[in-house]
A = this chain, B = another copy of it.
Amino acid sequence: MTTLPASMFAVVQTHDGYSASATGPVIEDASDWLAEAEVPLPEPAAGQVLIRMRAASVNPSDIHFIKGEYGQPRVKGMPAGFEGCGDVVAAGDGAEGLIGQRVAFVAAGSGAWAEYVVTQAMMCIPLRPEISDEDGAAQIVNPLTAMAMVDIARNAGDAFVVSAATSQLGKLMCSLGRDLGLKPIALVRRAEAADTLRDLGAAKVLVTTVDDVAQKFAALSATLKPRVFLDAVADQLSEQIFCAMPNGARWVCYGKLSTEMPQLTQMGQLIFQGKQIEGFWLTKWMMSTPPADQMRVVGEVQARFADGRWKTDISERLGLRDLVSNLVSALKKSDGKVIITP
């Protein structure tokens, strides 16, 4: 093992706590929220490991977080970034077993957009050799969210609705749904995406930018009877979709891509049709789901990446030192993930 440096390069947060606004996962200038810095190497405490980063990813939740619109407060000067993969190079008491292993991780001590990262050993998943660093860098947040949410849908019936279906997470949920014998109904903004989504597993694809989308969805809903709406948009159209769903439907919001504040136009449906509106947060799922169930899901996720059923579509690769200057333009390319390398 090489000697560890005393300091490291990192992309750090420039604000503390929460913001008062909620303008969605879009930024105009990354330097409003992030700065480059040379910071002391973080030290793993008991139960923690130090990881030399190989690749990190950019999730919508990262953007919500640096803007102060996420469920955890920011800490000025701390590296940003929730997810990545790398090699465990040091460990605190009780975590020594991971030293030398290549792991996927969720950053729960310091951020992933740095040369080194400290996190809990229980937030690390040793990676099989056939999984690439890039797939390893997007191995947890989206795949576990997809598995957990499709599980909610599966328990409620066979058809379910996925908004923003061209996102990495949307695509995972469509393909997983098909594999499980379910009928994913994919909502997309661009008609060109329809074929890709059908190939991936969507039973039906609906383009949301056409005028009569609500009527079209109502017709689909009457036939397929979807009971769960996995929604990352949460705008007025989402509310219309929910209103057109059958008795007992659940609107499960896991993201807020739109800044629109939807009106509840048919409150009576909650009363008479037993519908409900709720949220999904992976962090809470991880804290409330027994480790054995999580490990089963993690094993299924890795098997899918290992045999090629799942793959992370990369829209752009950025060096850590180019992140602040190039993140905004990289995020403008849709249909893929931005991957960061040291």
Interface residues of A (CB under 8 A from B): 22, 69-71, 234, 253-256, 261-281, 284
Contacts and interface: CB of A to CB of B under 8 A. Distances in A.
B278 A234 contact: no
Contacts of A269: 279
B270 A279 contact: yes
A284 B277 contact: no
Q: Which 6 A-B pairs have the closest CB atoms?
A: A71-B272, A270-B279, A271-B279, A276-B278, A277-B277, A261-B263
Contacts of A255: 271
Contacts of A265: 261
Nearest to A266: B22
A263 B266 contact: no
A256 B268 contact: yes
This chain: copies in complex: 2
Given A261-B265, A263-B262, A265-B261, A254 B279 contact: no
Nearest to A274: B284
B71 A22 contact: no
A264 to B, nearest CB: 5
B271 A280 contact: yes
Given A71-B272, A272-B279, A281-B274, A264 B261 contact: yes
A152 B143 CA distance: 35
A271 B281 contact: yes
B278 A270 contact: yes
Nearest to A282: B271
